[in-house]
């Protein structure tokens, strides 16, 4: 179940809003330019799918979004936990990169979660909105929006990524340490389970 939690940018001491209602999540995010919607899940996508299988399974939805938004590139990527040290170190480095607040000048950040979960944190209008996304969730963060992403200590997700620019993901890091002040992905997952 998707979870939206909103705090003041000063820190997580006060919860402004917490909801799992998809309609309310979309309504809260729309005024700040963030698109949230849910797509139906496909039963025939394997547990650890190849990118081509993911894109085939969601061909119609991808085609419709590309036509509506003019995306130049679409791909599918994922991470699944493995026990080897090399994977753990690579996942830790990848997580650290996305945990720093950043913006994108030339593109929106658009992700559809095919499987697993991840959390987008949106720093807008003196608030931080944490959107704990799961399979079926589509989130579009507009270019110029300060945000960060947390995949957790043991990442497990598959997403379809949409890009207007051929060069893919390019982040402009703000240098802020704000991400360190707020609950991480694993804490959000624990809060959701307790609710």
Confidence (pLDDT) at 94: 76
Please enumerate in sequence order all residues whose Cβ is within 8 A of that of 38, keeping only pairs 6 or more positions apart, or say none. Answer: 2, 22, 136, 137, 138
Q: How many residues does the chain have?
A: 195
Confidence (pLDDT) at 193: 86
Q: How confident is the model at residue 87 (pLDDT cuts 50, 70, 90)?
A: low
φ and ψ of 26, to 5 deg = -60, -40
Q: Residue 129 annotated as binding?
A: no
Q: What percentage of the chain reaches a pLDDT higher than 70? A: 92
What is the C-alpha to C-alpha distance for residues 152 and 191, in angstroms, rounded to an integer? 14
State the average pLDDT over residues 106-123. Answer: 95
Which of residues 70 and 80 earns the better pLDDT score? 70
Summarised one tens digit per residue, pLDDT across range 25-64 is 999 999 999 999 999 999 877 666 789 999 999 999 999 9
Q: What tokens does 81 get?
A: 């936990």
Instruction: Name the region of 37 (left: φ>0; alpha: ψ -120 to 50; beta: rest).
Output: beta
Q: Is residue 149 predicted with pLDDT exceeding 70?
A: yes
Q: Residue 123 annotated as binding?
A: no
The chain-wide mean pLDDT, for the chain, equals: 90
Q: Residue 147 annotated as binding?
A: yes
Q: How confident is the model at residue 83 (pLDDT cuts 50, 70, 90)?
A: low
Domains of the chain: 3-194 (2.60.120.10)
φ and ψ of 142, to 5 deg = -65, 150
Q: Is residue 107 predicted with pLDDT exceeding 70?
A: yes
Summarised one tens digit per residue, pLDDT across range 115-142 is 999 999 999 999 999 999 999 999 999 9
Closest Cα to residue 108, out of 148, 151, 162, 55? 162
Q: Is residue 150 predicted with pLDDT exceeding 60?
A: yes
């Amino acid at each position: 179940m998707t979870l939206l939690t909103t705090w003041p940018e000063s820190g997580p001491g006060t919860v402004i809003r917490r909801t799992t209602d998809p309609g309310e999540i979309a309504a809260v995010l729309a005024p700040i330019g963030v698109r949230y919607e849910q797509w139906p899940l496909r039963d025939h996508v394997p547990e650890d799918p190849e990118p081509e299988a993911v894109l085939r399974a969601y061909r119609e939805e991808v085609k419709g979004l590309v036509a509506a938004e003019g995306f130049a590139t679409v791909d599918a990527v994922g991470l699944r936990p493995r026990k080897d040290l090399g994977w753990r170190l690579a996942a830790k480095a990848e997580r650290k990169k996305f945990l720093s607040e950043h913006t994108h000048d030339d593109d929106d950040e658009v992700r559809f979660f095919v499987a697993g979960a991840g959390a987008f944190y949106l720093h807008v209008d003196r608030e931080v909105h944490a959107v704990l996304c799961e399979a079926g969730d589509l989130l579009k963060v507009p270019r110029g929006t300060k945000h960060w992403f947390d995949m957790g200590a043991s990442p497990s997700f598959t997403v379809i990524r949409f890009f207007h620019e051929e060069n893919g993901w390019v982040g402009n890091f703000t240098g802020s340490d704000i991400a360190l002040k707020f609950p991480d992905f694993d804490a959000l997952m624990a809060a959701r389970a307790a609710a």
